[in-house]
Amino acid sequence: MKRGGTPWRINEEMAEAVFHPPKRKRRVFESYKAPFPVDVGGKDFRLCQAEIINNNVIVRNPEDIEQLYNKGYFGKGILSRSRPVFSISDPQLVAKWRGVNTNMPIITSQKYQRRVQWAQSVLQEQGLDSCSISRILESYTQPLGLPFCTGDGDGHTGHSCTSGSPGNAEVCKKSAGRKGAQSPEGQNQHSKEGGDAALDPGGASRDQEQGDPREMAEGSCHRDPPVLWGCEGKQSPEQRAWEGMDSRECAPEYVLVQEEEEGSCCPEDDSTPAQENIVKKEVLVCRKNPFRIFEYLQLSLEEAFFLVYALGCLSIYYGEEPLSIVKLWEVFSEVKPDFKTTYMAYHYFRGKGWVPKVGLKYGTDLLLYRKGPPFYHASYSVIAELVDDHFEGSLRRPLSWMALSGLNRTNANASKELMLCYLIRPSDMTAEEMATPECMKRIKVQELIVSRWVSSRERSEQDEL
């Protein structure tokens, strides 16, 4: 096939194509667990729950998130690149205060003040006057006493310190002017659990600070409540349907705020003027976070339907009732007109052992990974088309030579092969049959690898033969 002097060759059979092994990533920080979130023997079967919010399928329960992502890499964290590991903690501050043994987030004073402002805006929208807002926030954000840890792990509250972690200098008694403050050569401590009921006016994410991926422990999912809803105010039908939501959603979140200690400025050297080389003493102050941000797992429509239809390990709610398989097929087809085509391709490649993810980044429908994104780079970029048995019909993406050349070059530069996946339906298949997922039993699949034919390379190969 030639046009304009640009030669191309389309391999019509996968067996005729040159196989390129998947490219493994250099750094892998986790171990492979399972291809699907179900056990072969049926032991420890877990029925996860999700809900439809604004035409998106959302998983909010932390245990369900861990199950779905760790076993099969379904979905992505809404505030993360892939694995839901979002944290408001500042990685640089965590490294700076590494002597402080705590699992509480450590943030700057500026970041904490932004959350106070967001909480103030939400309270203003609820009709509260400025005096009431100031009183509420002042009471909620006041410094708190830290629960310290002794050497044997028992916690006690107070300002008496034990020795720091190995490698740090011994820490003496802390007699800070403000309650709950701590200096960088910190003492062992852990986060305070329980406490007063949380003021949680935040119902929308306005900050997406990215946590360091290296902070995740053995690849486990973030265990904070993965939901983006506040505890106060009216609940939507979707919220009321979530009966199994963890109670930690309404618990207060404690953070360590790095602040400058009052009256701690002093000259660095007695020989220099007092106005120069001023050293400001910084301390950590424990406070409640007035505006919590939760992360949840967002599933693509294809992933969600596969978990419901093929594996039976997910129940999707809209309002107060779970949706049936046929209803989900109908709803998803209305939300995404080409859903039937893309899902058939997703179902086919999942059944072949690949891990398909959304291919929008490279201008295609799907990206195919071996095992999962943490282990290998994507091998193929797939465009799915639904045709009849004569390869006729209206194509979703009619590609011109220019579009095909640009798409192939984009994927070739990323070390990926472009694949055309044709889903062939019989000519006698009716619209009624296509209205249910049972139509896939009559669908045939043909894969085509698109590669650029280089004449000089081809001649050299023929000469060698």
Catalytic residues: 369, 377, 416
Q: What DSSP state is assigned to residue 393?
A: S
Count of residues making up the chain = 465
Q: How far, in Å, CA of 145 to CA of 179, rounded?
A: 6
Name residue, tokens 């941000």: 293
8 A C-beta contact, residue 9 and residue 451: yes
Question: Regarding beta strands 106-108 and 254-260, do their DSSP bridges make them parallel or antiparallel, or are they unpaired?
Answer: parallel
Structure tokens at 4: 């304009």
**What residue spans of 297-338 are helical by DSSP H?**
301-306, 325-335
CA dihedral 243→244→247→253, nearest 10 degrees, is: -110
Helix (H, G, I), strand (E, B) or coil at 386: strand
CA dihedral 407→408→414→418, nearest 10 degrees, is: 100
8 A C-beta contact, residue 346 and residue 288: no
Helix (H, G, I), strand (E, B) or coil at 49: strand
Structure tokens at 356: 């398909």
Beta strand ranges found along 119-176 (DSSP E): 147-149, 155-157
Q: How far, in Å, CA of 262 to CA of 247, rounded?
A: 37
Beta strand ranges found along 174-221 (DSSP E): 181-182
**Who contacts 296 (Cβ-Cβ below 8 Å, separation ≥6)?**
58, 59, 60, 65, 77, 78, 84, 226, 227, 228
**b or e along 437-447 (b: 16 or more beta carbons within 10 Å of the residue's beta carbon)?**
bebbeebebeb
